[in-house]
A = this chain, B = another copy of it.
Amino acid sequence: MTTTFRIQAILEALQKVTSKQEHFVPLHEPSFQGNEWLYVKECIDTGWVSSVGKYVNKFEEMLADYTGVKHAIAVVNGTAAVHVCLKLAGVEPNDEVLVPALTFIASANAISYCGAIPHFVDSSYETLGLDPVKLDHYLMEISVQRKDGCYNKITGRRIKAVLPMHTFGHPVDMDALLEICDRYKIELVEDAAESLGSYYKGRHTGNWGKLSAVSFNGNKVVTTGGGGAILTNNDELGKMAKHITTTAKKPHPWAFDHDHIGFNYRMPNLNAALGCAQLEMLSKFIEQKRTLANMYANAFLQVDGVKLFMEPSFAKSNYWLQVLMLEEQFASEKEKLLKAANEAGFMTRPVWKPLHEISMYQNCPKMNLDVVGSLARRIINIPSSPGLAR
């Protein structure tokens, strides 16, 4: 018996799960049904909308509490968070940073802002993220240890850090990766932009790296309009992260002096107020998103040629964006499916174009990227708003 690929069957499953009444179901829309207006209104009423205010502190405390990470530093967005994490991990101009080829372009851009070079690594079918086993074999072949760290034998550059990303909220195998980082003397920075509410072996993502980055963009599990955060358990790095994201001004009641080339990356109080209300709802959103995953998984069980991607065995994922995986034999139908689904009012999209295929990054060092190629041909994201769960 051969499987067939019927776009109509996929659209029917989408209809069944989303119960679309109106003409359009967005990919991911935020839900503001808690204290959002109360807190935002208080900012406006008191005048504390900007760089100082109680909500920034409260948001950072709530985030540290939720993730179990000692220090959380709120910033303007996830890109800024990754940039500062890499800086504080010691990434310097002309270093290389290992990063999955299958991630949003912000990861590679943040590496570029440091003057460093992205070095692309392959993904695992189990997690959609960095494959530690393949990375280990690759490093064995191309790296050499020197007294100040791991070097790429081919380019002669130092490999300073690795930046795994928990794709669509599904955690990478952190134990395996930590062991590799330790053995090869490579710093671990987690790009947890998509994985707030996701756990690896019971411990929150972003609580494994030396530093980690989270995002609160409008399409994320919870949003601050635009925003991000740096997470770290290291007291000194936490202090420095706050310092250099707030122009590195030396504390003084009125005088101006600065001791680093800092950044203006702090999150405004107005946005943090929205974020506090959103964090209060986070557990509920995660529950809804996990319910939605099960609804989709069941609906697509009946549909040939596709299936819903489910969390790895060691993970509890937030299912930020639901992933529909096409069988390899039907990958050529992807564009047709995207067109049909979007025309039918189900907002769907492919995964990012792999970074080694993007013009600015096509000459960067890379390993064999066969799994990335296969995933990029086969993934589409389907409507994922928590409110769709019933």
A: residues with CB less than 8 A from B are: 29-32, 36-37, 40-41, 43-45, 47-52, 76-80, 104-106, 109, 112-113, 115, 217-219, 223-226, 247, 253-264, 266-271, 274, 338, 342, 348-350, 352-353, 358-360
Bound CA–CA A61/B352 (angstroms): 32
Name A106's contact: one of B52, B219, B264 (CB within 8 Å): B264
Contact A109 B32 (CB under 8 A): no
Q: List 26 A-B contacts (CB under 8 A).
A: A30-B47, A31-B47, A32-B47, A37-B44, A41-B41, A43-B225, A44-B274, A49-B225, A50-B217, A76-B77, A76-B226, A77-B264, A80-B264, A105-B247, A105-B258, A106-B247, A106-B264, A115-B115, A218-B268, A218-B269, A225-B270, A254-B338, A254-B342, A254-B349, A255-B353, A260-B360
Bound CA–CA A353/B256 (angstroms): 6
Knowing A254-B342, A342-B254, say if A360 contacts B274 (CB, 8 Å).
no
Given contacts A41-B41, A256-B349, 20 further A-B contacts (CB under 8 A): A37-B44, A40-B40, A40-B44, A43-B225, A49-B225, A50-B219, A50-B223, A50-B225, A52-B218, A105-B262, A109-B261, A112-B261, A113-B113, A224-B268, A225-B270, A253-B342, A254-B338, A255-B350, A257-B353, A270-B274
Bound CA–CA A202/B118 (angstroms): 49
Contact A49 B30 (CB under 8 A): yes
Bound CA–CA A76/B256 (angstroms): 23
Point out the residues of chain B lying under 8 angstroms from A256, CB to CB: 104-105, 349-350, 352-353
Contact B51 A218 (CB under 8 A): yes
